[in-house]
Each structure stands twice: as structure tokens, then as C-alpha cells.
Amino acid sequence: MKAYVFPGQGSQFPGMGLSLYNDNVIAKHYFELADKILDFSISKVMFYGSEEDLKQTKITQPAIFLHSTILIETIREQFHPDMVAGHSLGEFSALVANKTLSFEDGLKLVYQRAMAMQQACELHNTTMVAVVGRNLLINKVEEICSQATECVVVANYNAPSQIVISGSVKGIDSIIDRFTDEANAKHTVRLNVGGAFHSPFMETARTRLAKAIEDTPFSQPICPIYQNCTGKASTDITLIKQNLINQLTSPVLWTQSVSNMIADGADQFIEVGPGKVLQGLVQKIDADVYTEGIV
């Protein structure tokens, strides 16, 4: 069974989508449509912007969404997924892929999400850190986070060997050295992000996005989506909406999602969009499954 997965923030790169725009008339149409919907030329930022330009959350999120969803539209007639999932932002791409959301509504929601998250990041001095180790003690990582001087939580269960934590800079600084000493971490990496995604610091963004999601039409999906905040399959529109809202302040259960997809029959994982991050994570979760990318 084929599982299509869609990347999140961090997979962007300068020039993304340019060859797609130049080589495919369908892609060109959707890039031009996106510029009209957003009322600025995001395509030009994607094609010709610098790495710094693309790191802005308000650019990064819609750019990655566009790369992934436009790729799907170019193969729509041959696209027959058994299941889909997306990592954080990628969940919106997955919902367009399985026809729960239209391309237009998906883009509008992603842009609103990006703006709300960027504004939430500006309210507090927060960050994210990857905790990496082959024999990582995940329970110990969670315990250490709970003992920080200020709010720190696990934000991403990316793979058994990679956890991302999210919280205040002061809180993370109070515990950062303990992961290598107590949780078998090989090293920690501070991520170049705007703030503490998938944590309580995103509550203002969650509230704003909730109204936008409730006001957006959702259709019956053509296949199940495995959602970040539960790791489980869903085709129920009411549940999909609620999970999408909760995602902003809940951890991304990527390991659990992939494991459940495999348990439900997935033996091929196809990453759609920029980069190969998810292919690497899937291989770390289960080295026996087949992975490939559509870029």
C-alpha cells in the first residue's frame, strides 16, 4: 500500500519550484493562482529569493505547501493514495492531496497559520532544540523537560533517535546539558526557527486558526489521513478539523503516525515536496519499508 507524506518547515531551499513552473503548464497555472490568492508574488520569492527570505515563517509555510500541493496537481490523474500524512505544516498539504481541502482554501489557511504563528513567536523569547541519539531515552527526555525552570515540552517525536523540544530560551538553557548526561543523547542542535512551535506558546495562534478552520469548507477525504496530534487514521471531518486546530499546541507524533501506517499495510512511503527529511525519518523508524521522493 502507498502512503504519501508531505514535509514541513525546514525543507525549503532557494529556487524551489522554479523548474516545475518552467516545465509544466499545470504548475504554472497554480503558481500564478497562488500569487493572486495571497496578493503578492510568493512565486518570485520561492524562485529567486535568498535563504534568509525563505526562512521567514510567513514565506516558508506557504512556499513548502505550494511546492507539495502543486506537485500533486501535476500528477492528479495518476494519484491514487491509500493513506496520507504530513509533518506539521505538511498536514495541510496532505489534506489537499486527499481532497479534504481545496487548493485555494488550503493555501488561505496555511497563510493565516503562518502569520498567526509568526505573531505568536514575537510575544516570547522561545526556541526549539533537536535531541539526537541512537539509544535515546525518550522517557528521560520528557522527564528532563518537565523539570525545566520555565515551560519546555516535547514538540516532535520524529524518530526513536530524534526528539525535538520546544520552549522558552531560559527554560531550555536550564536543562540543555542534561540530555547528553542523562538521556543518552549524542548531541543537541538548536534549530533556526522563529519560536516554540507545537507548545503552549502557540495558544494565541491556535485560537486564531481555530476560527479560520471552522469557517472553511471541508470535504469527505478520498483516503485516511494520519494526523500529527493523534498518530491515528481519520476520515471524519469533524475530528480532522479538531485535530488540525489542536496540532499547533500539541506534539507532532510522527513516529507513532508512521508506525500506525505500517501496521495498517503501508509498505511504500512517497515524500512529495522539497527535500528528503521525511524519507530519512521513515527509514529510522522502519528500515525495511521502501521510500522515494517526488520533487
Beta-carbon neighbour count of residue 49 at 10 Å?
20
CA distances, 100 to each of 29, 236, 237 (Å): 21, 10, 8
Task: Give me the catalytic one of 88, 93, 199, 250.
Answer: 88
Of 33, 55, 203, which Cα lies nearest the Cα of 105? 33
- Strands of 187-190's sheet in order across: 152-159, 162-168, 126-132, 187-190
What span, in angstroms and rounded, lies between the C-alpha atoms of 129 and 144? 13
Which is it for the CA torsion 102, 104, 107, 109, positive or negative? negative
Amino acid making up residue 59: I
* Catalytic-labelled residue, pool 161, 198, 199, 257: 198
In Å, how far from its chain's centre is CA 240? 15
**Residue 211: what residue type?**
K
Residue 198 annotated in active site: yes
User: 202, 199, 33: which is closest to 115 by C-alpha?
Assistant: 202
Name the β-bridge partners of 271.
5, 293
- Report how far residue 51's alpha carbon sits from residue 236's, in angstroms, rounded to the nearest whole number: 38
Cβ partners under 8 Å of residue 170, min gap 6: 125, 149, 150
Q: Is 41 a catalytic residue?
A: no
- Is-contact 209 110, C-beta < 8 A? no
Q: Please identify every residue annotated as catalytic.
A: 88, 198
